[in-house]
Amino acid sequence: AADVVETLASFGLAYVLVKFFVGVLGEVRQAGLVLVHDRPSYYKILICTLVGASSVVVLLIIIAETKLGVLLIQELHGVTPSVSKLTTSAIAYLSVYPLIDAISWYHAGILLKWHHSTVVGAGSLADIFAQIFAVAVLLYTPLICNNALLVPILAAYAGVVTRCIIVTMAYFITVYPLLKKENTVPASILKLISFLSPLMLSLGIHRISRPLVNLLVARFAASKCDATEAVAVLTATYPFGHLPYGWLNQLKPVSPAFQKEKPGKSAPVIPGRAIGIFCFAVFTFSATMCFILFWIPGVSVAILEHVIGVPHQLAVLCVDPLKLFAFLPFAVGVRAPLVGWLTLHHQTKLILPSVPVRVCTILALLFALPH
């Protein structure tokens, strides 16, 4: 049980750090959705994406292979040296993940612009099934006994590589031949930065909030209970709690994709009222699922214990945090369509005021609640 908790905590700490960069780079989807009009603009934004993602790869390797990693994981989080060592190893293994993911989301954004949402959805489903298949295979190999940490890491790579191959091939088959070879709309690096920086900053603060929560919870827990156990609870809670509502974030590209005419496309522009009704319907479904899964006694514990494989004692500790997750669809269901509308009209700078509000709220709650 101790090995399970350590492995879970280590992978959770590493994956949270990597997902922070993945989330920020994932905003290139919006650039593909709104700013790619021809082949020159495609290549220009692709180069910027590769440069940014490669910089993240180098940074993650530096964190994993230097004392910076020990400082971030062991000293700041207060975890044991063994957990710290496993975490830095996981960060090194996952360092290339953001690069593959960024390429995938960039091409997914372009596909959405041309109404190929079925392909993007198929890529995401293939990602999930590839991870499940990889885990099912790896569980029957010596790896599960010799180095269990590699199982979720290899599964994550299996998923993202599968998704990247599907959406990239679909782009070159369906969209690339339709793009004009000459510039049709001027696209400069400054315009790209001006468009993406508010989105990346906002999402970056959102993503960094989870590592910040992990850090402060681990430090507060270190003086009262087991910091490793506290981080393990968060690691089990976040993905399960995110499952019924996280996909509401995919409402962001709906307005840019379906409320703007595309050159050479005969598909009609969908009215804003129809998009609003659709967003409300999926929000209602998400909120209902959250309350069924997290508020009906015994449901969340049964899923965590028998489906995900979390030890019973750890699953019981996840119950109260999961109940709080049931209220998040109310925030995400409103925010995502609004961000999409601002993206459609190139008014992403209006998102910036939410950044200091989010930071102040998170810090205030994190320091007030333990007391």
How far the first Cα of the chain sits from its last, in Å, is 30
Amino acid at 320: D
User: In angstroms, rounded to a whole number, what is the distance separating the alpha carbons of residues 182 and 192?
Assistant: 19
Instruction: Please enumerate, as own/partner, the contacts of 185-191 that have beta carbons within 8 Å and a separation of 24 or more.
Output: 185/37, 185/38, 185/41, 187/35, 187/37, 187/40, 187/41, 187/44, 187/45, 189/44, 189/48, 191/35
Mean pLDDT computed over 132-157: 88
Region class of 78: left (phi > 0), else alpha (psi between -120 and 50), else beta:
left
pLDDT for res 285: 95
pLDDT for res 362: 76
Looking at residue 327, what DSSP letter applies? T
pLDDT for res 357: 83
Three-state DSSP at 139 gives: coil
Give 83's pLDDT tier (boundaries 50, 70, 90).
confident
What's the token pair of residue 95? 């360092």
User: In angstroms, rounded to a whole number, what is the distance separating the alpha carbons of residues 50 and 306?
Assistant: 41
State which of 9-18, 44-53, 159-168, 264-273 shows the largest mean pLDDT. 159-168
Closest CA to 23 of 155, 200, 168: 200
Looking at residue 185, what DSSP letter applies? S
pLDDT for res 169: 97
Three-state DSSP at 369 gives: coil
| 6-35 tens-digit pLDDT | 787 788 788 878 888 887 888 898 888 888
If you compute the radius of gyration of the chain from its CA atoms, what whole number of angstroms results?
21
Task: Give yes or no for a contact between 110 and 171, defined as CB atoms under 8 angstroms apart.
Answer: yes
Burial class (CB in 10 A: 0-12, 13-18, 19+), 251: buried
Task: Give yes or no for a contact between 337 and 276, defined as CB atoms under 8 angstroms apart.
Answer: yes
| 317-343 tens-digit pLDDT | 899 989 998 999 999 999 999 988 888
What's the token pair of residue 173? 């088959």
pLDDT for res 1: 44
| 127-138 tens-digit pLDDT | 999 999 998 899
CA distances (Å), 84 to each of 13, 75, 94, 97, 182, in order?
Answer: 9, 9, 15, 20, 52
Give 261's pLDDT tier (boundaries 50, 70, 90).
low
| 242-255 tens-digit pLDDT | 889 988 988 888 88
Residue with tokens 């509401």: 248
Q: Given a cut of 70, is residue 221 above it in pLDDT?
A: no
